Structure 1
Amino acid sequence: MGLPAGANLEILSPAEMAEADRLAIAAGPLDGYGLMQRAGEAVAAVVLARYPAASRVHVLCGPGNNGGDGYVVARVLAEAGVSVAVWAEGEPRAGSDAAIALARCRLERRPLEAFIAEPGSLVVDALYGAGLSRALSGDAARAVEIAAGLSVVAVDLPSGVSGESGEILGTAFCAAATVTFARKKPGHLLLPGREHCGEVMLADIGIRNEVIEQVAARTFENEPELWLSNFPTPAVDTHKYKRGHVSVFSGGPSATGAARLSALAAARSGAGAVTVLSPANAMQVNAAHLTSIMLRKADTVEDVQEVIGDRRPSAFVLGPGFGIGDKARDFALAVLARKRQDGGVEGLVLDADGITSFRNTVSTLSEAAGRPDAPALIITPHEGEFGRLFPDILGDKKLSKLAKARAAAARANAVIVYKGADTVIAAPDSRAAINANGAPWLATAGSGDVLSGISAALLAQGMQAFESACAAVWIHAEAGRRFGPGLTAEDLPLALVAVLRELVEARQKVPIG
């Protein structure tokens, strides 16, 4: 998948970053030490720009390339007239780039076991970075304690944070700023690592985009540049059904609100027509609250099939307030059984009760979604719902949230939106995106119902499932972030408008083709 020039949205695992380094060195003109020199200079520039009044800078250097970056940082800062102390743990391997950096750094080295830092000083963490795979302990763990309360600038990733998963390995530095190189790692975006990074700054050290393309990354940061070229904008000659028709299944008379929230979100997100499919005993309740959104009875699978045949909805939402059980499963499978070309059904968004209804029958869902001509399936679980569908995947401690979402997507033949403050969107073809613009205000009842409606509206307007899910997650989070304190789910559909307007305006500036 191509990205706009300069987007830099690929996220590289530590192994992929090592491969990018290798390819960049092979291609030239910079060798390994040349890249290290650029990296150290980038970190030093951040320190000089952000902390000009620091009384002293303590640079902590490990034995590997991260430590080599640290030796460059120390040398450059000292040459700029900064008071610098270097604290080292371990020796670089003889002949390595880190050994070259050490040889060119003429400052006195002190053992990390003796590390002390005075109030008002700054710590540069160049101990281990993204490649750490074991718990931080001993002198390094003690250094974390000493640095608590001081400003810390981390080189690549705060030591103690897993670059692969964002997990904290024993303990970890809490940085005010993290300077990383070429591309971000999963640990910069996945929690709890993201909270330890502070502001993440991406430095260009000479690894060209062509090199990154050779790595063929399949993970991306979820920003509009990832999907904006596919974002739907209505043509001049459009009419409501050209803009897509979304149908949302409603629960019974005491549980209709969630479906209406989802339906309103779909309407606000550009669907030209939206219908609430209601059981007969909830028709009056729904009718009393709906104006522009249509209403139709749907008590049986035959009713659902009739709706598909008569009104040809482009996308469905099933789950919000619907109830758990056979009816939810039967309705979902009825939608997925429809061939795209026959009924025009582009996709199904399965949320809430719809997810839980497949707790013990996920293979049935996977089989239905795996047909070549089946509508696309987007499943939007929070962690509890994820565990109901995929208990073995959730329980695998060796897997990161990113890896879990990928495994679930492959098993279910669906796009998985694994919700949370670090929502991961994963597709069956192994593409994945990590979202980072979430806000705590979205942790409110009904928020997920709105997300489902946005997803369905974008599907109905012709976006592919992965792009629809990515766009919906970002839009939903951005609307919540901008609204801020006091947000309720009822506020969200209207809060979408300003975000959508900006995206449509930006989309109109994107070249076609």
Structure 2
Amino acid sequence: MPAVPDQILTVAQMRAAEEALIAAGSSVDALMQIAGRGAAEWVWRIAAGRPVTVLCGPGNNGGDGYVIAEAIRTRGGAVSVIAATEPKTDAARNARALFGGQVLGPDAAPKGEIFVDCLFGSGLTRAMSDDLMAVVARLAASHAYRIAIDVPSDVDSDSGAILNAELPQFDLTISLGAWKPAHFLMPAAALMGHLRLVGIGVCRVDYAAMLVPQPRLKAPAADAHKYRRGLLGVVAGAMPGAALLAARAAQGAGAGYVKLLGAVPAGVPMDIVADPRALTASLADKRWSALLIGQGLGRHAAARDALVEVLAQSVPAVLDADALMLLFPGFVSGRSYPLIATPHEGELAALEGAFGCSGEGAKPARALALAQASGMVIVAKGPDSVIAAPDGRVAFSHRASSWLSTAGTGDVLAGTIASRLATGEAPFDAACEGVWLHGEAARLAGAAFTAGKLAESVGAAYAACL
């Protein structure tokens, strides 16, 4: 059954969506059959005739496990079912009754090659008992391939928190009905392996978070020129090499004209225009489409003055790095032109302090609270980047390449986002497009790349979207 492939639902939203399906004429049992049989398709393909062990818990995730096992059994597959505890919901009891094979106890040690974790799914908010964790760990260790259904047991679906440090690594996680926040939030996302989605008929949910989509880009118009495509100014500071990285990335992300403003580093490429004049003189140009400030800016009085000067312009802007540590609410009070901020964890905490946010909750809630308090679009970057807008929209990025954990890649991200903003994209859309292009550039750059190689790959990522 089709799913809405880009929406991400919290536990409460997922329950409400299921209740809506039931109110429209379905039932818990029918939805369990759809979900379990859909998941069984993936398990069957991966098993390829190898024996499967399914661990079932007491709730409806356990019921999904019985459905999966029965679907494999009726196809002639070798499947063992272990009941960690007796079913405690009507739907789970019904699914167990429909399973035509033997149900083993929690101490059983079947010889399987594929382990399917159906102990607990989304909705768990506290660690399971040590004895149940021991069963999961034992079965995971004795099977070559591990599959989690919905989310791995002992993961908080809404926050991505791991509730038990002993939780094993999975090779595949099959989400049921819709994606959940934990599929894209650290630390849980790192344990989930590949991700697959099984639909159960859930419709689009109002105010749900979204997964950042691949941008729909196009070539410049036949009559385009550099200014019409967007003039972006990148302000350099005490460490101008960082601004140069951002400018290089911006050139590949759509802007027609990228200028480096202020301190000019040695070896500026011929195709980047450098303007070493005083910032006030440079910003007097009325053709600016967007500005970017923060990379290697410094945190001294002159850097603060440069930030204030940029924020005084009637131009959309992206704030990164040092600019975020210098920012105070008074700097943006009354400003009507869009701002995008791209903080990492430390900068996010600093901005929360500056704008009076509590800093409590999971990353999406924190990013959204800051966006609403500051009026900025927030890109809370990291291996699990989250984009939040003041109007309540939230987007999650696909899991980022771990090779991005090198100096300068944040500068490349800021330049990519700023370039999309300079082309005229709305701030939230520009942020989402920039995050996607940054992730795709990392994929194209391969292994062990530098920030410079990443910046050079942005253009190829753009080309992939044409």
Q: Normalising by the residue count of structure 2, what TM-score does the alignment of the two structures yield?
A: 0.91
In 2, Cα distance between equivalents of 1:383 and 1:502 = 30
Aligned to 1:322: 297
The Cα of 1:383 is off from its aligned counterpart by 1.4
The Cα of 1:468 is off from its aligned counterpart by 0.7
2:201 paired with 1:220: no
Aligned to 1:204: 199
What amino acid maps onto 2:208 in structure 1? R
Aligned to 2:272: 293
Unaligned runs of 5+ in 2: none
Aligned to 2:125: 133
2:49 paired with 1:53: yes
Contact 2:233 2:260 in 1 (8 A): yes
- Equivalent residue for 2:464, pick from 502, 505, 509: 502
Aligned to 2:36: 40
Unaligned runs of 5+ in 1: 340-344, 506-513
1:191-219 per-position Cα deviation (integer Å, ceiling 9, x unaligned): 221222222111123x15xxx22x21431
Change (3 A) 1:393 1:67: farther
Aligned to 2:184: 189
Change (3 A) 1:68 1:437: closer
Aligned to 2:330: 364
Aligned to 2:364: 402
Aligned to 1:353: 322
In 1, Cα distance between equivalents of 2:73 and 2:268 = 69
The SS at the match of 1:275 is strand
Aligned to 2:453: 491
The Cα of 1:46 is off from its aligned counterpart by 2.0
In 2, Cα distance between equivalents of 1:6 and 1:37 = 16
Contact 1:393 1:407 in 2 (8 A): no
The Cα of 1:109 is off from its aligned counterpart by 3.3
The Cα of 1:475 is off from its aligned counterpart by 0.7
The SS at the match of 2:131 is helix
The SS at the match of 2:64 is helix
Contact 1:179 1:203 in 2 (8 A): yes
Aligned to 1:73: 68
Aligned to 2:260: 276
Change (3 A) 1:494 1:7: farther
Aligned to 2:234: 248
- Equivalent residue for 2:14, pick from 17, 32, 43: 17
2:333 paired with 1:336: no
Aligned to 1:511: none
The Cα of 1:22 is off from its aligned counterpart by 0.8
In 1, Cα distance between equivalents of 2:359 and 2:87 = 32
What amino acid maps onto 2:40 in structure 1? A
In 2, Cα distance between equivalents of 1:326 and 1:180 = 51
Aligned to 2:150: 156
1:253-277 per-position Cα deviation (integer Å, ceiling 9, x unaligned): xx22111222222222222222222
The Cα of 1:126 is off from its aligned counterpart by 1.0
2:179 paired with 1:179: no
In 1, Cα distance between equivalents of 2:331 and 2:66 = 55
The SS at the match of 2:54 is strand
Contact 1:10 1:217 in 2 (8 A): no
2:251 paired with 1:267: yes
Q: Normalising by the residue count of structure 1, what TM-score does the alignment of the two structures yield?
A: 0.84
What amino acid maps onto 2:338 in structure 1? A
1:159-197 per-position Cα deviation (integer Å, ceiling 9, x unaligned): 112111111111434322222223210111112212222
- Equivalent residue for 2:417, pick from 450, 455, 459: 455
In 1, Cα distance between equivalents of 2:190 and 2:199 = 23
What amino acid maps onto 1:84 in structure 2? V
1:52-92 per-position Cα deviation (integer Å, ceiling 9, x unaligned): 3323x322211211111112122222323334333223443
2:211 paired with 1:236: no
The Cα of 1:391 is off from its aligned counterpart by 4.9
Aligned to 2:404: 442
In 2, Cα distance between equivalents of 1:331 and 1:392 = 19
In 2, Cα distance between equivalents of 1:146 and 1:130 = 22
Aligned to 1:124: 116
The Cα of 1:34 is off from its aligned counterpart by 0.8
In 2, Cα distance between equivalents of 1:59 and 1:6 = 25
Aligned to 2:337: 375
Aligned to 1:509: none
1:21-42 per-position Cα deviation (integer Å, ceiling 9, x unaligned): 11111123x3221110111112
The Cα of 1:307 is off from its aligned counterpart by 3.5
1:110-131 per-position Cα deviation (integer Å, ceiling 9, x unaligned): 442x24343x433221111111
The Cα of 1:290 is off from its aligned counterpart by 4.5
The structure with more helix, counted as a fraction of residues: 1
**Coordinate RMSD, CA, aligned:** 2.5
The SS at the match of 1:241 is helix
What amino acid maps onto 2:310 in structure 1? V
1:353-381 per-position Cα deviation (integer Å, ceiling 9, x unaligned): 111222xx3x224535xx4xx22111111
1:368-407 per-position Cα deviation (integer Å, ceiling 9, x unaligned): 5xx4xx2211111111222222259999786112222222
Change (3 A) 1:440 1:397: same
In 2, Cα distance between equivalents of 1:393 and 1:66 = 41
The size of the alignment, in residue pairs, is: 462
Aligned to 1:342: none
The SS at the match of 1:390 is helix
The Cα of 1:6 is off from its aligned counterpart by 7.3
In 2, Cα distance between equivalents of 1:379 and 1:202 = 32
What amino acid maps onto 1:172 in structure 2? L
What amino acid maps onto 1:195 in structure 2? A
In 1, Cα distance between equivalents of 2:126 and 2:289 = 49
What amino acid maps onto 1:221 in structure 2? L
Contact 1:232 1:458 in 2 (8 A): no
Contact 1:61 1:126 in 2 (8 A): yes
